[in-house]
Amino acid sequence: MKILFHDYSSELTTEPRYMTVALQYCGVDAALWNDSRVSAFDICDQLQPNVFVTHYTMITPDIIKYLEQNNSIQLVVN
């Protein structure tokens, strides 16, 4: 299983960062998407995640479009 965390870290939380590292430590294939210059299409095509974790404030039209076209990716919204 591959999990892609959208980096929704802020001054209030670093949840996606520590979850990525904690899961990697447990042997899970987890990655953090923290470069806004990389589109949802590019990062998802590159990593091919089974699960995408994001925050509702970070959902963009390209994320929705990609997930609509690739319904095999499970979406988790914080």
- Rounded-to-integer distance, Cα 46 and Cα 68, Å: 17
- Rounded-to-integer distance, Cα 48 and Cα 40, Å: 11
- Rounded-to-integer distance, Cα 29 and Cα 43, Å: 15
pLDDT band at 75 (very low <50, low <70, confident <90, very high): very high
Q: What does the chain come to in residues?
A: 78
pLDDT of residue 46: 96
Helices (H), the chain: 15-25, 40-47, 61-69
pLDDT of residue 42: 97
pLDDT tens digits, residue range 4-60? Answer: 999 999 999 999 999 999 999 999 999 999 998 999 999 999 999 999 999 999 999
